[in-house]
Chains A and B, each alone.
Chain A
Amino acid sequence: MTMKENVVDELMARRFLLGDVSGEERERIEELAFDDPETFALMLSAQDDLIDDFVSNELSPEERERFQNYFLAQPGRRQDLRIGRALQQYLTRDEPSVPSVATNVVVPRPRASIFDWLRLRPATVSLIVLLLVAVAILVVILTRRTDDSPRQAQHQPTPEPPTPSGSPVDTPVQASPSPTAEIQNTPAPSPRPPVEPIYAVVLVPGGPTRSEGEEIKVPPGRTPISFELPVVDNTPYQNYRALLQRNGNNIRTWSNLQPQELQSGSALQVGLPAGLLVDRQRYRIVVTGLTSEGKIQPVHTYYFHVSN
């Protein structure tokens, strides 16, 4: 089997882990795995699958021998095997039937209901209550002004009660932190527009090469897009900044981002209005973090291309 120059697939990863590759192939995989975080993730995932297959007695005799003589000889592998055994015991403990995917409780995207949002964000619920109280006070003040100056009321249109900002719709309040350019142009409060459907995408951090020759595809079109950017990092950044780029040009910036607990785990969420992305173009979102010492450090880069 020949290896594509910049691609490692699951089968090749398994052969590498079992020591069943040529010297040249081994060197190439080692370089690629270090160079590309997604390839590295593929290697780790292949390692877990290999351990699980060994525990389940699904390796061929030759693979089994290589597993015992080569794979387990590496540091930490025996402990991983023990954890793999424990996991298998745990997963099969409640057999005979594992819930099928169709009936499990996984809620498909794109949006959580307002009740999930309220449950998950008690702090934000408090903020909404506060805002509603403020609105009520404003209405009272405006009413009193109208009563106190009847002459002015004749010349002014009846003011619309202000819409509380950040009120929940079907999308979470922080779904699309405004790009810095938009903060200065925030329109005056107006009646809530009809809710548009949003196309939600989870991007994978990593290099532009993909282990299966795939890139995350995003359709062009007329719906806004919400990107979920998983952050696999324990570094305590004060905040994050995301930069959308195409061909080295900056398209949009989101600042002062904070990770949220989303479907993929701890992740940033940024949004784009409809029609911004160009068909058949490649983009990347570069995320940097601000450390407590005030330094800006690279965190992740997410690649995707726009395609129907």
Chain B
Amino acid sequence: MDLTRESFEQLLAWLHSDPEEAGARYVKIRSGLVKKFTSHHCSQPEKLADITIDRVAKKLPEIIDTFVGERECYFYRVAYYVLLESMNKSAAEVELTEGMPLVAPDKDDDVEAEFECLEKCMESLSGQKEDLIRNYYNGDKGAKIRRRKELAVQFNVELPVLRVLALRIRQDLRGCILDCLRAQGR
């Protein structure tokens, strides 16, 4: 959705009754969003900031009478979901309709295609990275907690650092798998 003149004016009026002050707040919010998206290493922070603003403007008629709190914070909350979606390349934005049935996943969900792609993608990992993934994600809950602490000691890093390392590798794998699936036309 691109902002229409009416929705833009409504948005400004919501930010402040004084047009000049509203304009200043808009600029400040937008630049704050761009800065934050940049800090999350997004390749198109300005586009994501505009998407965020569009969504707030679209949602405004529903919340304008009942909204309580800092307006800027609302932009941040919407931006969180915009950020999540920007990282999820395969996800299309879907509007959930009332009464839409939510189907439980099948127990024996066939993931053969994902498995084949994962095998290929794991081959591109270094031995150390594959070992980290194996040790970080394998095992039951209790074993995982214990193993992750041991890994942190082994790597001589704090647990938050280890988490980021494992997350990066898993995200790389995810991207590789999605590319592989797309190449297969899935």
Contact = CB atoms under 8 A, between A and B. Distances in A.
B80 A105 contact: no
B164 A82 contact: no
Contacts of A87: 118, 137, 170, 173
Interface centre among A34, A105, A107, A212 (most CB of B within 10 A): A34
Contacts of A232: 41, 164, 168
B111 to A, nearest CB: 5
Interface string A261-291: 0011100000000000000000000000000
B88 to A, nearest CB: 4
B183 interface: no
Contacts of A107: 128
B158 to A, nearest CB: 6
B55 to A, nearest CB: 13
A101 B135 contact: yes
B147 to A, nearest CB: 6
B158 A41 contact: no
B131 A234 contact: no
A257 interface: no
A56 interface: yes
A42 B167 CA distance: 9
A203 B160 CA distance: 10
Contact of B43 (A52, A104, A230, A235): A235
Contact of A86 (B115, B139, B165): B115
A90 interface: yes
A202 B150 contact: no
A82 B36 CA distance: 31
A110 B163 CA distance: 19
Contacts of B91: 75-76, 79
Interface string A196-220: 0000101111000011101010000
A170 interface: no
B85 A75 contact: yes
B66 interface: no
Q: Contact residue range for chain A?
A: 35 or more
Q: Contact residue range for chain B?
A: 35 or more
B71 interface: no
Interface in A40-66: 40-42, 44-45, 48-49, 52-53, 56, 58
Contact of B158 (A72, A85, A214, A233): A214
A81 interface: yes
Contact of A81 (B81, B105, B128): B105
Given A78-B105, A102-B150, A216-B158, A30 B77 contact: yes
Interface string A68-100: 110011111011111101110111100000110
Contacts of B167: 41, 44-45, 48
Contact of B111 (A82, A203, A235): A82
B13 to A, nearest CB: 23
B165 A265 contact: yes
Contacts of B131: 99, 104-106
A109 B155 contact: yes
Contact of B141 (A53, A83, A105, A234): A53
A27 B77 contact: yes
A298 B39 contact: yes
B43 A234 contact: yes
In the A-B complex, list the 6 residue pairs whose CB atoms are closest, starting with the nearest.
A76-B91, A76-B88, A75-B91, A86-B114, A30-B77, A34-B80
28 contacts: A34-B77, A37-B39, A40-B40, A45-B166, A48-B170, A53-B141, A75-B91, A75-B92, A79-B91, A80-B174, A82-B109, A83-B174, A86-B117, A89-B111, A90-B122, A104-B131, A105-B128, A106-B154, A106-B155, A110-B156, A202-B161, A203-B161, A212-B160, A214-B160, A216-B161, A232-B164, A265-B165, A298-B35
Interface of B: 35-36, 38-41, 43, 69, 73, 76-77, 79-81, 83-85, 87-88, 90-94, 96, 102, 104-105, 109, 111, 114-115, 117-119, 122, 127-128, 131-135, 137-141, 144, 147, 150-151, 154-161, 163-171, 173-174, 177-178
Interface of A: 27, 30-31, 33-35, 37-38, 40-42, 44-45, 48-49, 52-53, 56, 58, 68-69, 72-76, 78-83, 85-87, 89-92, 98-99, 101-102, 104-110, 200, 202-205, 210-212, 214, 216, 230, 232-235, 263-265, 297-301
